[in-house]
């Protein structure tokens, strides 16, 4: 696995590691009687003056100190040279980045991607805004061949929900050599496990809703870049389209990030143990998890990530009705969409009509939380063992 980076401290020249940054970042300056935690700034406008003042806040759609605390921490985690940009949702951040594709331009993206991304791209294509080519992101030669006519390469790694792993260094280098803009959705890995900007990505996006906020009570997104011109364009799109986060939501997300390192460590360890047990379960036909030796993405993930994440996909035996009954029968797991929260979620992905037809009908995506591993296993084992094989 790659070495964990040290990140410059916001206060002083010392460098801090990521699991310290999530705790210490985005706090007030260390002055006597200063609050330990950041404040929530609730305002729609700011006091100004009779004249024009460069870079003043002016209005609540342009900036907010509470967003900036969150944006500072995200930038430091992703090793960006510029503050991140927070958005009202992950899809709002995705829409902002996709707006960088010129009208009529070509986008290359994985055939298995977040369904919101796929639906948005389909809508843009139907209106003539862009054309799209989908690829098997694990097939490096196929992706590189598709770049010759591309304006943007969109990557997920691991992919949602099939957990394919892209060769990020190779693909990002190939795109850069051809002048193709690149964006990586880093939601599954989080910046604790993977930092695509280090591999040459132009932009990274996150659904902050998921692991970063971590408590299933916030809808937010973010985009991160070290390119000043790209950041200006993204910020302009956010401002003009009103895709801004609420200050309270930004504050909640930052509070959730304080435990990010602990949650990622615990949930990933549990996910690995469950994946190993599920591989031996008689009612499970297939397990997809990059942490398993023998998984198609294992060696690649081990080489370019600092861990394997907390999402496991399984294909149980039985038909759709039997698998749906198993989902309905869980007691510790929660049948729900989304992922990355403290609670473990289970979902049959093809219940969503936007999900690609290449995703198996009975595939279950497991978002592993921080509950006791034995309780999670006993619940899964019980419902899976009840499937008529």
Q: Do 11 and 29 touch, CB atoms closer than 8 A?
A: yes
Catalytic status, residue 210 = yes
Catalytic status, residue 61 = yes
Catalytic status, residue 114 = yes
Task: Output the CA torsion 157→110→84→35 (10° steps).
Answer: -50
Spatial distance between the Cα atoms of 125 and 135, rounded to a whole number of angstroms: 16
For the four alpha carbons of 164, 102, 92 and 17, in that order, the dihedral sign comes to positive
From the candidates 114, 211, 238, 349, give the one annotated as an active-site residue: 114
Residue 91: CB atoms within 10 Å: 20
From the candidates 61, 235, 277, 382, give the one annotated as an active-site residue: 61
Q: Which of these, 334, 336, 337, 338, lies nearest to 376 by C-alpha position?
A: 334
Q: Which of these, 251, 222, 191, 214, lies nearest to 338 by C-alpha position?
A: 214
Residue 51: CB atoms within 10 Å: 5
DSSP 66-127: HHHHHHHHHHHHTT-SS--EEESSHHHHHHHHHTTSPTTEEEEEESS--HHHHHHHHHHHHT
From the candidates 69, 72, 167, 185, give the one annotated as an active-site residue: 185
β-pairing, 152-156 vs 181-185, is parallel
From the candidates 106, 210, 238, 263, give the one annotated as an active-site residue: 210
Q: Active-site residue numbers?
A: 61, 114, 185, 210
């Amino acid at each position: 696995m790659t070495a964990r980076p040290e990140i410059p401290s916001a206060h002083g020249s010392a460098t801090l590691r990521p699991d310290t940054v999530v705790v210490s970042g985005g706090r007030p300056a260390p002055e006597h009687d200063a609050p330990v935690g950041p404040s929530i700034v609730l305002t729609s406008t700011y006091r100004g003056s009779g004249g024009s003042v460069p870079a003043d806040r002016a209005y609540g759609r342009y900036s907010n100190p509470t967003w900036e605390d969150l944006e500072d921490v995200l930038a430091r985690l992703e090793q960006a040279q510029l503050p991140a940009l927070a958005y009202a949702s992950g899809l709002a951040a995705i829409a902002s980045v996709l707006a960088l594709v010129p009208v009529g331009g070509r986008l290359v993206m994985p055939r298995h991607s977040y369904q919101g991304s796929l639906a948005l791209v389909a809508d843009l294509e139907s209106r003539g805004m862009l054309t799209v080519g989908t690829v098997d992101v694990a097939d490096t030669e196929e992706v590189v061949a598709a770049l010759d006519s591309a304006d943007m390469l969109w990557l997920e790694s691991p992919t949602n929900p099939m957990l394919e792993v892209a060769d990020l260094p190779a693909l990002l280098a190939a795109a850069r050599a051809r002048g193709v803009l690149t964006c990586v959705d880093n939601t599954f890995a989080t910046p604790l496990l993977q930092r695509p900007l280090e591999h040459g990505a132009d932009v990274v996006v996150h659904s902050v809703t998921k692991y970063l906020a971590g408590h299933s009570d916030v809808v937010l997104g973010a985009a991160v870049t070290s390119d000043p011109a790209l950041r200006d364009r993204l910020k302009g799109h956010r401002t003009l389209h009103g895709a801004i986060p609420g200050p309270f939501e930004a504050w909640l997300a930052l509070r959730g990030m304080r435990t990010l390192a602990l949650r990622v460590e615990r949930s990933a360890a549990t996910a690995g143990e469950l994946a190993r047990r599920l591989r031996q379960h008689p009612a499970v036909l297939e397990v997809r998890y990059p942490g398993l030796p023998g998984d198609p993405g294992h060696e690649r993930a081990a080489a370019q990530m600092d861990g394997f994440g907390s999402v496991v996909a399984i294909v149980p035996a039985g038909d759709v009705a039997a698998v749906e009954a198993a989902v309905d029968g869980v007691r510790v797991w929660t049948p729900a969409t989304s992922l990355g929260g403290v609670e473990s979620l289970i979902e049959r992905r093809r219940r969503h009509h936007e999900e690609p037809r290449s995703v198996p009908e009975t595939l279950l995506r497991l978002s592993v939380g921080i509950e006791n591993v034995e309780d999670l296993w006993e619940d899964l084992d019980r419902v899976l063992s009840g499937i008529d094989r």
